[in-house]
Amino acid sequence: MKTTKRILSLVLTLMLVCALSVTVLAVQGTGTLQVTGNANGDTLGGKSVTIVPMFTEVGASDVEYELESAWEDFFADLLSTTTADPDLSDKAYDYVLHLGTDSPSQTAAEKMAAFAKDAKDYYYANTSDFTSVAQTAVANASTNTATFANLDAGSYLVIPAGSIDEVRGTDAMIVNVEAGETTTVSVKGVYPTVTKEVETKTAGTYSDDTCAGIGDVVHFKLTSEVPDMSEYTTGYIFNFVDTMSAGLTYVADSVEVTIGTQTDEDLASSYTVTWSGQVLTVGFANLKAVTGIAAGDTITVTYDAIINENAVIASTGNTNSAKVVYSNHPGTNETGESNPDITTVYTYDLVIDKYTVENSVEKKLSGAVFEISTTSGGTAIALVAEAAADTYRVAVAGDTSTITQMITSSTGLLTINGLDEGTYYIREVTPPNGYNGIASPIPVVIEKEGTSVNYTVDSTDQDTNHTVRVLNSLGVILPTTGGIGTILFTLVGVGVIVAGVMITSRKKKEEK
């Protein structure tokens, strides 16, 4: 009987131990931490966030906090003790727990911010010691949130790379994660950003988009702000990286930079400009070394680009995407980058449709010669024949085989690419053999309307219809009133009448 009781007691003891073990395991790996961007519009999306465990909850009913071993040297120095101190973990936790209450000259927030900064600096200096425990995630672009799941309950150092906070400096913070709970913390700092704009038809006015013709020069502007670089003691990389579509070409030596009151002449030796593979980079190898500037000063970069022969003639337009690449890890050359900002330059086309109607059937006409100009009867625009049949584009500097007259083929169609908004005149120089031509040029107005375009042909609003229909009729065109042709026709007519009268008079005389 005693043996049975002993066995039962042992079984119950084992069951209790197992139950306690399950309780301990249940609180481990069940926490979630969500790091979100703040509510004032500064986005965390696409940025990296690193979390490093500092204290981990241990125990079941009597919870204690155990210091992560990688932090032992940090706290030993901070507390003037050694890593061999058996109470180091308790002392470290007690120190953090009472931050802000031991120094009336600083608020709790200020004390925690200073501590988090020191911890972040230690982590950066000893990253290899934390490889097995640190986690990094990139914040989701749409939710603006970096999520860390299956975390042990405890305290974590959170480092949003590159974020600057007025109180916390580079925005490092200490966050407690509870078992089975989702903890959310907001990044209250800001990241470097860039605004990309293009000059509109109103000089000095900039917007997200504009329009231009092939060969035209377009003016671009990038703006940003000098970031808080106070914690970056070894330098600060700050580069504008502008990627252009194939339809844009950078105009050499057109970059100008100003920062606050510093002119381009003041800054000329502080930055470099490179143009390679459709990418324009205006780079500061060390923005912190630039004199006469301060955090918050506006940085402005302007430059010119040409709409080239590769320009897209479509609603998508020719895009230009700019971002800034900046230091986000004090003491290293590690960088982050802003979300890109995009501008668009639109350029337009026009289609001439030459036709006649015979026996109620439409027929396309070949052999018609056309010109296009910006004034009625003015100089024709120089064009270049493209690879596609019956297609032309506005000529650019350097083109050798240019023409001013286009001839319709059996399709009766002529396409002209690369036109800016404005008024154009379609002139039929020579009609097809046997057909009347048009008496005067046809005016066409191309007008940008937001990201769309409107065509008005001979005073008729065609909305987005870009086709100019040109009807010819059989026969020879009559000369205009007052011309020499009218005189000739009149003289011939008078001669016929006189001849008729004379013949009639002669017959009457003969009859008598």
Mean pLDDT, consecutive 10-residue segments, the chain of 512 residues? 42 37 53 83 79 89 84 96 94 88 68 90 92 94 91 94 75 91 87 94 95 97 94 92 96 98 96 97 97 95 97 91 93 88 97 95 97 96 96 94 97 97 97 92 96 96 96 66 43 50 52 50
Q: Which residues contact 228 (CB under 8 A, 6 or more apart)?
A: 164, 169, 295
- Going from the C-alpha of 227 to that of each of 211, 231, 247, 285, 474, the distances in angstroms are 33, 11, 33, 14, 73
The DSSP output letter for 399 is -
**What was the pLDDT predicted at 2?**
41
**What was the pLDDT predicted at 241?**
98
**What was the pLDDT predicted at 315?**
82
In angstroms, the CA 50 to CA 476 distance is: 82
Q: Which residues contact 107 (CB under 8 A, 6 or more apart)?
A: 100
**What was the pLDDT predicted at 490?**
45
In angstroms, the CA 390 to CA 415 distance is: 6
In angstroms, the CA 217 to CA 146 distance is: 42
**What was the pLDDT predicted at 502?**
55
User: Residues 154, 176: contact at Cβ < 8 Å?
Assistant: yes
**What was the pLDDT predicted at 166?**
66
**What was the pLDDT predicted at 19?**
36
**What was the pLDDT predicted at 217?**
97
Amino acid identity, position 144? N
pTM of the model: 0.77
**What was the pLDDT predicted at 14?**
38
In angstroms, the CA 477 to CA 485 distance is: 11
Q: Which domains does the chain show, CATH number per domain? A: 26-187 (2.60.40.1120), 195-345 (2.60.40.740), 348-471 (2.60.40.10)
